[in-house]
Amino acid sequence: MAMAEMTSDRARLVELTEKSRTSLASLSAMLGRNPSYLQQFVRKGSPRKLEEADRRKLAEFFGVDEVELGADPDLQRAGKTGDLQTVDFIAVPRLALDASAGPGAFSAEEISFDAFRFSRRWLREMGLEGADLSAIRVEGDSMEPTLRSGDEIFVDRNKRSGEGIHVVRIGDTLHVKQVQASAPGRITLISANEAYAPIDLAREEVEVIGRVVWKGGRI
């Protein structure tokens, strides 16, 4: 079967999927559909239009207006597709992996399984407008009391240099640590918990994923 014409809504779906570092298969699963559902929509034009409930859920996940995914703009203006205008919100994808604040945790495939939704106004007030955010959960006690096990942290992938608390990858393991430059070509990872000794490594041994810019957790 020939590929369907790449209409603007299909092209936008592909663009948003790539930008959010997820996949059409995982998004299909989020909708409760067969993993090939959105792939068929993009490549074969089946279905011709996304069902309203699916389109709304995707728009909420990406934090965009439903019109970008094929909704009738007249219906959007009339407010018939929902009580809240999704354009006012942005989704922060939650990744199905843990950033270790202790001995380390092996990372899983970085596919989002859920998302937090925040108003653009709140993100702007927090100084996070334009940030490339992902949410992950802290495990371990090496960053206590700054970060506690179970805290959700926002990581800005646009901020990979300078000192501060960062999520870093060493081999196949993720850590959340205070990053500090030491000797030329070397980097020191420091825990807030004094029970953990600093880790000194060659710069090329550490991949900086992004800076921790927000935290939340249970009281």
Q: Is it the case that residue 112 has pLDDT exceeding 90?
A: no
What residue has token string 């279905």?
47
Total domains in the chain come to 2
- Residue 64 domain flag: yes
Which range among 36-50, 73-87, 140-154, 203-217 shows the weakest confidence by mean pLDDT?
A: 73-87
Q: What is the pLDDT of residue 63?
A: 86
Check: CB of residue 189 under 8 Å from CB of residue 199.
Answer: yes
Out of 81, 109, 144, a domain closes at 81
Verify that 192 and 145 share a domain, yes or no.
yes
CA-based torsion, 22, 27, 28, 30: positive or negative: positive
Last residue of a domain, one of 50, 81, 112: 81
Pairing of strands 133-139, 89-100: parallel
pLDDT at 5: 66
pLDDT top residue among 195 and 63: 195
- Tell me which of 81, 114, 146 is where a domain ends: 81
DSSP assignments along 61-81, one per residue: HHT--GGGGT--HHHHHTTTT
Q: Domain holding 67: CATH number?
A: 1.10.260
Domain match, 72 and 111 both: no
pLDDT single digits (tens) 131-177: 889 999 998 999 999 999 999 999 999 998 888 999 999 988 889 99
% of the chain residues with pLDDT over 90 = 37
Q: How far is CA 113 from the centre of its chain?
A: 10
Tell me how far the alpha carbon of residue 182 is from its chain's centroid.
Answer: 30
Distance CA 142, CA 100 (A): 9
62 and 25 belong to one structural domain: yes
Task: Find the CATH number of the domain harbouring 128.
Answer: 2.10.109.10
* Within-domain flag for 122: yes
Position 119 scores a pLDDT of 83
The SS3 of residue 176 is strand
Per-residue model confidence as pLDDT tens digits over 44-76: 888 888 888 889 889 888 888 888 898 877 555
Q: Is the pLDDT of residue 80 over 50?
A: no
Classify the C-alpha dihedral 212-214-218-219 as positive or negative: positive
CA torsion 7→8→14→16, rounded to 10°? -170
State whether 172 and 110 are in the same domain.
Answer: yes
Range of the domain at 189: 90-216
**pLDDT at position 212:** 95
